[in-house]
Structure 1
Amino acid sequence: MRKISDVQRERPVVSSNSMRLVEVAANAVYDYDVAADTFYYSEGMEKTFGHNWIGPQPAMVLWVDLLHPDERAGVEAAFLRFLAGRDRYARLEYRFKRADGTWAHVRERMIVLRDDEGRAIKVIGGIEDITAEHDTQERLHHSQKMEAIGRLTGGVAHDFNNLLTVIIGSAGLMEAEADLSPAQRDLIRNVGLAARRGAELTSGLLSFARQQPLTPATLNMAAVFAEMDALLRRTLPAFITLDTAQAADLWLVEADPTQLNTALLNLCVNAADAMPEGGRIRLECRNWAQGAPGGGQDDPDMPQGDYLRLDITDTGHGMSPEVLARAFDPFFTTKPMGKGSGLGLSMVWGFAKQSGGHATIASQVGIGTTVTMFLPRSPKATAEVEPAARAEMVQGQGQHVLVVEDDRMVRKLVVALVQRLRYRVSEAENGDEALEILRKTPDIDLLFTDMVMPGRMSGTELAERALQEFPRLLVLFTSGYSENAIIHDGRLDEGVQFLAKPYQLRDLGEKLRAVFAAR
């Protein structure tokens, strides 16, 4: 009887024609002679992965050494179990190092030839580079995860903003009282300060959830950088060096100036925290034509078009791949307890996406991190100038305001705020009651209504019905988060007036004045 080894020596290696047939379904093909313990690889191994493995290769040494360290033991064990088992087919997925040092996600399919006793004689396999497919699935998974977290955080922020409106507004009214002792006034100020910090957290949540109402303006980034440069030099520690660089002929950008400044400040503070022993922060800005010949590289997560690209680079300790993968997740932070909320980067991501742009992070341990924001180019020819803030409190002139709010605590507080601003006030709990008051009180000048109310009529439906009967009525909406009924892609619909919760007395005064001035 002939030995298996004799059969093996006489059995030809899989022909080149067979190799080509298998390569239809794989980038690289191999023929493993079990008895000789040698591998033969097709030319696809070099074409796809850069490894020039011509001729017989000893055992599995080359392949095993190029498996990702986190997966090496498991993949090798799975291959050996397949050889020792009874299955004819097997499939593995793992990370495999290319010749240039990068990692490919691969799918390996194998078929084994066995003798009469079931022992493996030969394995023919194909290795397919599925990196693009894997990355697409990862982006989809990440998008779905961010969307789900966004819905959750948006709902939480809405509920908290109602509570914070009451706390902030009540503290403001109490602080304005003349007969408070210094100790009482300090306590009330602390209440207001703590509530405003809570409002910053909910604002970060809404930014991440892309439900933060934006007021986009046409901005000149050279002017924004000049303003930020002065602010950052006062804010950052002395051991941090700040550099700014701007390309010539920058396009104008379309973005909310307050949210943009907040995003840049957050990024620079984060960068400084990553350099406790000192380092350098560099802010760069340049034009970016996504998808255009000679322009920016294609990014499947960013539509083609013209953007302004902002790079914020630090020379800090950098992020590991595991940390980098979660960097935009809300509440994820590597800072010690109490040193950070974990909302800074998630807010930046949400702001960029809601503005019609994109955000990315590149980092390397021991070298540093670059956060990049892409903001859409403005179609306008000139930048807008923000009006100067008023020092004095804006007061009304006795105009009549109807406040519609289903939450009793919020309603009572808003009524008190509007009265303090010297307006006459009526109040309603729901849309039906509001319409009834409007019909009985013809001198009402402005409807100030919450967006979300229980019952059959929302704030927008109330406004539509009220304007049908009273076309000269002014309308101001409010809510704890962005409502799709009046806000699309983060922007208020044309002609809509909106005040986001929570707000202070001064915020309400400014907004009411602006609505009356726009009549």
Structure 2
Amino acid sequence: MSKRIHFNIFPLLLQICAVLLLIFYIVSRWLQIDFLPVLAATCITFFIIFPVLLLLVNSPLKMIRKALDSGNLSQIKELATTSTGFGQLASLTLKFFQQREELIEEVSERKKAEIALRESEERYRSLVETSPDAIMLSDLNGNILIKNLRASKLFGESLDSQSGNICIFDLTPTEGRPHLESIFKEIKQKERIKAVECLMKKKDGKIFPAEISFSLVNASNDNGGAVISIVRNITERKKSELEKSKLEDQFRAIYKMEAVGQLASGIAHDFNNIMGAISGYADIIRHRYGEDPKLDKYAQMILSATTRASDLTGKLLTFARKSKLQMTAFDIHDVLNDVYGLLEYTIDKKFEVNCELNAADPVIIGDSTQFQSAIMNLALNSRDAMPDGGELVLRTENVTLDKDFSKSRAYIVAPGYYIAVSVKDTGTGMDKQVLSHIFEPFYTTKDVGKGTGLGLASVYGTLKSHNGYIDVESEPGKGTTFTLYFPVNRKTMCSDSEAPKACVHGKGHILVVDDEIFLLDAVQEMLTWLGYDVSVCTNGKDAVEFVKRDPSNVDLVILDMMMPNMNGRECFRQLKEIKNSIRALIATGCKMDDELQQVLKEGAIRIIQKPFVSAQLAEAVQDALSG
């Protein structure tokens, strides 16, 4: 609302009257006219004209005053269109107030703009200062002009040192400087470069990996603009990527070893089938033609060779974790003392053998024979790695393994209490390439004829069979340390059976089912020699059809476990549907595993391991028929 404006015309009129009286007096004197009549005529004229003049003057002034008081200037718009002095006054008043309103609006808009700008600056300042990334503004020569708090912390500079004399090129190692300089040259054309990885350097000299984005701003300026560099410390990301890579390596190693284990198991199965046929026929030769000393000798040699071959497949099955374990509680220290005694007497005196038995809890549940074999394998490998002699140390200690232990290993550890058995030597050591293959079957660095490549593979299998782990530390020229981790007091139950020693003849009708023809013929020959009636089938489907025709005619079925289309377990299930009381022996080239345990639970009498000879077969058949 405008302030009230007062127009008082009376003082002005009095002044006019005084002036007029003075003028009339002077004129009357000059003309020598009597002043009083003139004065009387003038006063009469004045008092007649004055109200009219007063009305003419005061009316537009009141209109203007009223418009100013009310703020409603539309009241004088019509007056402003007149050509009178009051019209001009009204027009000027309208223009004044219009300009005044425009000025007020302009000032208001400027204040709003200033407030918005200030708020925007605060937001951006807050955004920049609270950013987890280091943000720096530099000229095209790399001289830092402004940097945020994170940049100061990351590069070890205080905020007081933001004087512009620090160059971004000095924040990278010497070898990385040319790369940054080339980026600053390139950014003039590209104006923006995203996610460049490079090494950066803190004030204390520490190097860290960084990801940097560059943007050119104010390029139209005379100085060519400035460069905003956003630096992100990616140390943790690189650690995560490394851990992820290690984890992927762990899984790849596990899958690789599992795949190789399956391959080894398959090879062992097929090999045992072949050895079964060879040993079967050799045993038949001994029993039928044993009167001939030469034939008997040759047959014995064949059987001896098949036994050695069976030991070889046993190592493969140990690697594949399908070996037959004899699990008992035993003291690892007792076994190591035995190994220590053997080594002292069997290896050259140029080797120094030491035994450091520090474990407080040395008793585990396991196969002591496999454990001893594993330690001997490692010890003999250590001996071979020290052609000029050296030191061999057998050592034990109890350790507790946790999840962090897996992070630096190529395997995943079940947390718990373990006994660590290490075999350490001062030999030639191994490089990373060799280390990545040492547990693979048939992989060896020894000369032809000096190693089968199954020693460490069987050690690996032993550890897996005992739910343990193996760790290797080695460098060329610095020796090797194998550390075996066995869980303490972890029970593992496996079935076991004694091998028969004598042939037992009998009677009955036996159905033999195996997809290997030569092994099938050998078993048929042995059973016929033992007095049994024998029928054969080369697959599970034929066996089921055979029993269907006359279930009562079959006293015993000898089933191969691994056959195409229908394996031994499925065949046995279908045979039981035909004849629930049917008796079955399971013949397999694999060792005891979960599937074999299941088929025993489902009613199979027992397992017979390939290769076998007549005496073993006779005892198993007799046991199955009389059971």
Is the TM value for this pair above 0.5? yes
- Which amino acid is 2:486 matched to? L
What is the 5 A alignment of 1:288-437?
Answer: 288-291=399-402, 301-378=412-489, 393-398=501-506, 400=508, 401-419=510-528, 422=530, 424-429=532-537, 430-435=539-544, 436-437=546-547
Aligned counterpart, 2:149: 16
- Give the percent of matched residue pairs that are identical in Structure 1 and Structure 2: 25
1:91–1:107: 8 Å Cα contact kept in structure 2?
A: no
Query: Shift of the alpha carbon at 1:6?
Result: 6.7
Amino acid at match of 1:162: N
Displacement of 1:79 after TM fit?
8.3
Higher deviation after alignment, 265-274 or 107-116? 107-116
- Structure 2 contact 357–396 (Cα < 8 Å) conserved: yes
CA pair 147-475 structure 1, distance change in 2 beyond 3 A: same
Alignment equivalent of 2:194, drawn from 83, 89, 97: 89
Flag the structure with higher helix content: 2
Deviation at 1:138, TM superposition (A): 1.7
**Distance change in 2, residues 1:270/1:292 (3 Å):** same
Gaps of 5+ in 1: 24-32, 41-56, 64-75
Matched residue SS, 2:170: strand
Residue identity opposite 2:557 in structure 1: L
Q: Deviations over 1:133-182 (max 9, x none)?
A: 23212212222322333333433333333223222333344355324454
1:202 pairs with one of 305, 309, 313: 313
Distance 1:153 1:80 in 2: 57
Letter in 1 for 2:562: V
1:298 positional shift: 9.8
Does residue 264 of structure 2 align to residue 178 of structure 1? Answer: no
> 1:110 is matched with which residue?
212
Q: CA deviation at 1:236?
A: 4.4
**Structure 1 pair 289/59, CA: closer, same or farther in 2 (3 Å)?**
closer
CA distance in 2, matches of 1:6, 1:296: 48
Number of residues of Structure 1 aligned to a counterpart in Structure 2: 459
Q: How far has the Cα of 1:220 moved from its partner? A: 0.5
- The residue that corresponds to 2:175 in the other structure is 60
RMSD of equivalent CA atoms: 5.0
Given candidates 233, 237, 241, the residue that maps to 1:126 is 233
Paired residue type of 2:144: R
Cα distance in 2, alignment partners of residues 204 and 273 from structure 1 = 20
Q: CA deviation at 1:353?
A: 1.9
Q: For residue 170 of structure 2, what is the aligned residue in structure 1?
A: 39
Q: Is the 8 A contact 2:210 2:231 kept in 1?
A: no
Match of 1:449 in 2: 559
Aligned to 1:140: 251
Q: Partner of 1:166: helix, strand, or coil?
A: helix
Give deviations 1:64-109, integer Å, cap 9, x for gaps: xxxxxxxxxxxx9x98987786682356699xxxx9xxxx9x9653
Give CA-to-partner distance per residue, 1:320-364, whole Å, 9 cap, x none: 233223322333322123322322212222332233222221223
Q: Which residue of 2 aligns with 1:28?
A: none
Change (3 A) 1:469 1:91: farther
Decide which of 219, 223, 231 is 2:329's aligned counterpart.
219
Q: What letter is aligned with 2:327?
A: A
| TM score, norm. by length of structure 1 | 0.69
Unpaired runs of at least 5, structure 2:
1-136, 157-163
Give the number of the structure whose alpha-carbon radius of gyration is greater.
Answer: 2
What are the Cα deviations for residues 272-315 of structure 1, in whole angstroms up to 9, with x where unaligned? 2112223343333444443399x999976121234443322223
> Is 2:576 aligned against 1:464?
no
Deviations 1:247-292 (A, max 9, x none): 4653542334443343233222222211222334333344444339
2:584 to 458, 468, 475: 475
SS in 2 for 1:132: helix
Pick closer, same or farther for the CA change 1:278–1:59 going to 2, 3 Å.
closer
SS in structure 2 opposite 1:168?
helix
Alignment match of 1:151 (pick from 262, 268, 271): 262
The verdict on how the C-alpha distance between 1:181 and 1:395 changes in structure 2, with shifts beyond 3 A counting, is closer
Give the distance between the partners of 2:616 and 2:354, measured in 1 at CA: 35
Q: Distance in 2 between matches of 1:84 and 1:157?
A: 66
Q: Which has the higher strand share?
A: 1
Structure-2-length-normalised TM-score = 0.59
Match of 2:557, SS? strand
The one-letter code matched in structure 2 to 1:126 is N
Structure 1 residues 119 and 338, CA, compared in 2 at 3 Å: closer, same or farther? farther
Between the aligned partners of 2:507 and 2:181, the Cα distance in structure 1 is: 84
Closer, same or farther: CA 314–461 of 1 in aligned 2, 3 Å: same
Structure 1 contact 290–297 (Cα < 8 Å) conserved: no
Q: Could you tell me whether the CA contact under 8 Å between 2:264 and 2:317 is conserved in 1?
A: yes
Cα distance change, pair 402–492 in 1 and its aligned pair in 2 (3 A): closer
Greater RCO, 1 or 2 (C-alpha within 8 Å, sep 6+): 1
| Distance in 2 separating the partners of 1:377 and 1:513 | 40
Within 5 Å, which residues of 2 pair with 1:251-270?
252-270=363-381
- 2: CA distance, partners of 1:137 / 1:493: 38
Given residue 534 of structure 2, which amino acid in structure 1 is its aligned partner?
A: S
Amino acid at match of 2:561: M
1:228/1:6 CA distance change after superposition, 3 Å: closer
Structure 2 residue identity aligned to 1:156 = I
AA paired with 2:525?
A
Shift of 1:9: 6.5
Alpha-carbon spacing, 1:280–1:17, altered in 2? closer, same or farther (3 Å):
closer
